[in-house]
Amino acid sequence: MNYNISQQQIFDEMGKSVPYSVGFNKSLAGGRDAVTLTTPPPKHVVLNSPPPILQTTPNLSDVLTKSGLPTVGPNYSQSQQPIIIVPQTVQQAPAPTPCPECPVCASCPEPEVKQNPKNLTDDQMNRTLFDILATKPVDISCACEAFDYYSMTDPLEGEFKWKSEMDFVYRHQPKITPDNILEIMNTPNSNQWKSSKELKVKYSRWSPDPNTKYANNNPPIRILLLHDVLDSKESWWCAQKLLSPFFDTIAVDLIGTGESTLPRGINTSSDSQDEKQTEAQPVPWSYSFHATYLVALAETVWPGETYYVVGADFGGQIAASMASTSSQVKGFIMINPPGFHGNNFPGIQYLDFYEMRKITSDEDLSNLTTSFTARVRDLLLGALKGSDCDGRNNSTLKLILKQYVQLDRKRILIDQIVAFSQTPYQEFPQTNNNDTGLAVQAITAPCLIVTGQGDVVCTPESRHFYPIVYYKSEVSTMAIPHIGHLIHIENPKVIAEIIVDFIREKEGIDQLKDAFIGFLGTTRGNEIQIISKLRNLYYT
């Protein structure tokens, strides 16, 4: 029997059965430029109806109520235990007002005094640190790699199931094996569409080794890592590995990307499977949509605990939405965020993206002069500082691009590009005239904006807007020379050091799970000896 059939052929055959209104969002086709369709749309498609909007407000319950999602409902972790998925925003009590007679009195908070490790006196600390810093170099001087310093574990794969009152329609992709490959090819309409209120989010979890003797007894600090719209959780792989000795890290595939559910629409009324396909409305792609289930994921994996969020571009703006709706976000880092642009599609200045908005049918998608995957690869390479990438970047890009073998993934990327072009001011403050905007007044967690000076996607100087706009947050900014847009792919060591440094400043040295002296290495040759002595001082 001949099994010489490519996986892409299978997905293309299956794609031919996709109802036009579900396969592409015709109500949004062409974006703001209103690209003319050659074929009139079916009557059941309402061209003038905007997609459902999930508003970002200080209270997540308002967001869910307005969008039809449950304010309280079951949510499932790997153990399938239901929990409350909506943490309410905690109103912080105002600081006590000092008496007018004196600047310091009983009503004023006591200044926090930093304690020395092991109750050492200042003189003892000075002597100990002097001896550590004066450690004699070893005979052979070499630059060490991170794995020579720190104990690294293996990542764990996890799946989070999010329940919603919205009935999502998505393609059920059967697992392809040599035994069923011909059957799938010959029966493309069998068991392809599924309607469910439960979506899955795949993630990789990488944590410190619990058996390391030098680690402190505190639970590790938690970090959620979010990717950009083009890539997947694999883009964080190298940086996540470097962060794993210090933090409990989770990198997710956002819904519609990677191995997570690829929803194509939302069922609105009928129970008939055929009508579900034709009546499905566009998925309400927005930053707040992603923030909603990510807050639920964090509450499931880290119930009642605080955490940090780090996101690149699209993921960075999702991090800001999470910070505006959940008091559990203790701080967040935005890597080359979209900025405050008046473009049709904020932060994206590639002609290819604008051209993609014109793709409104499977035929258009099949007749591209350049293959879709090659086009995405070019966009990713263009976002790096140089056109050439080293072996590590090349391997990472291959992992990212493997998702584009699926026809649905290609369509969803187009859907999101078009949807975001219709709501170009989601990054801007929420007002009466911009109800899809961000509730910046609710962002009180500290924030770091990191930009690459070689970024050709988002203007690096736009980082200076964030301290002005997030006016109730403590915002700091940083620009890295000689680096492009996708910093976490291009130089994972640099971004990992920045993340460690930001959190160490907020939490304190002894809250990390190991003594940190960097990833880049030096040529003194005594780094291993120094870090061993620092562990004895701070962590044992």
Lowest mean pLDDT among 21-25, 143-147, 165-169: 21-25
pLDDT classification of 165: cutoffs 50, 70, 90: confident
- Residue 149 has a CB neighbour count (10 Å cut-off) of 21
As a residue count, the chain comes to: 540
Reading the block at residue 334, the tokens are 């935005």
Query: What span, in angstroms and rounded, lies between the C-alpha atoms of 57 and 435?
Result: 9
pLDDT, one tens digit per residue, over 343-393 is: 434 444 445 666 676 777 777 777 777 788 888 888 888 888 754 455 567
pLDDT classification of 96: cutoffs 50, 70, 90: low
Predicted local confidence at residue 526, as pLDDT: 84
If you average pLDDT over residues 230-246, what whole number do you get?
94
Predicted local confidence at residue 173, as pLDDT: 65
Domains of the chain: residue spans and CATH: 7-88+146-526 (3.40.50.1820)
If you average pLDDT over residues 271-288, what whole number do you get?
70
Query: What span, in angstroms and rounded, lies between the C-alpha atoms of 387 and 381?
Result: 6
Reading the block at residue 165, the tokens are 């009152």
Predicted local confidence at residue 14, as pLDDT: 53
Predicted local confidence at residue 452, as pLDDT: 92
Largest CA distance in the chain: 93
Reading the block at residue 93, the tokens are 């009590």
Which range in 306-310, 404-408, 523-527 is most confidently predicted, on average pLDDT? 306-310
If you average pLDDT over residues 499-527, what whole number do you get?
87
Reading the block at residue 54, the tokens are 């999930």
Predicted local confidence at residue 98, as pLDDT: 53
Predicted local confidence at residue 193, as pLDDT: 74
How far is residue 450 CA from its own chain's centroid?
15
Check if the beta carbon of residue 496 is closer than 8 Å to that of residue 239. yes
Work out the mean pLDDT of the chain and round it to a whole number.
78
pLDDT, one tens digit per residue, over 429-474 is: 999 999 899 999 999 999 999 999 888 888 888 899 999 999 999 9
Predicted local confidence at residue 131, as pLDDT: 94
Burial class (CB in 10 A: 0-12, 13-18, 19+), 37: middle
Predicted local confidence at residue 359, as pLDDT: 74
* pLDDT, greater one: 138 or 15: 138
Task: Give the strand pairing for 475-480 and 447-452.
Answer: parallel
Predicted local confidence at residue 396, as pLDDT: 87
Residue 30 has pLDDT above 60, yes or no: no
Helix (H, G, I), strand (E, B) or coil at 107: coil
Query: What span, in angstroms and rounded, lies between the C-alpha atoms of 41 and 292?
Result: 32
Predicted local confidence at residue 161, as pLDDT: 95
pLDDT, one tens digit per residue, over 259-270 is: 999 998 888 765
pLDDT, one tens digit per residue, over 463-479 is: 999 999 999 999 999 99
Query: What span, in angstroms and rounded, lies between the C-alpha atoms of 358 and 374?
Result: 18
Terminal Cα-to-Cα distance of the chain (whole angstroms): 64
Q: What percent of the chain has pLDDT over 70?
A: 67
Lowest mean pLDDT among 67-81, 240-254, 305-319: 67-81
Q: Which of 170, 404, 168 is CA-nearest to residue 293?
A: 168
Q: What percent of the chain has pLDDT over 90?
A: 40
Lowest mean pLDDT among 162-176, 191-205, 230-244, 299-313: 162-176
Predicted local confidence at residue 184, as pLDDT: 63
Predicted local confidence at residue 382, as pLDDT: 80
Predicted local confidence at residue 41, as pLDDT: 40
Helix (H, G, I), strand (E, B) or coil at 60: helix
If you average pLDDT over residues 233-252, what whole number do you get?
96
Q: Which of 108, 149, 132 is CA-nearest to residue 245?
A: 149
Residue 417 has pLDDT above 80, yes or no: yes
Check if the beta carbon of residue 475 is closer than 8 Å to that of residue 449. yes
Residue 31 has pLDDT above 60, yes or no: no
Predicted local confidence at residue 147, as pLDDT: 82
Check if the beta carbon of residue 217 is closer than 8 Å to that of residue 39. no
Lowest mean pLDDT among 75-79, 117-121, 130-134: 75-79
If you average pLDDT over residues 510-539, what whole number do you get?
86
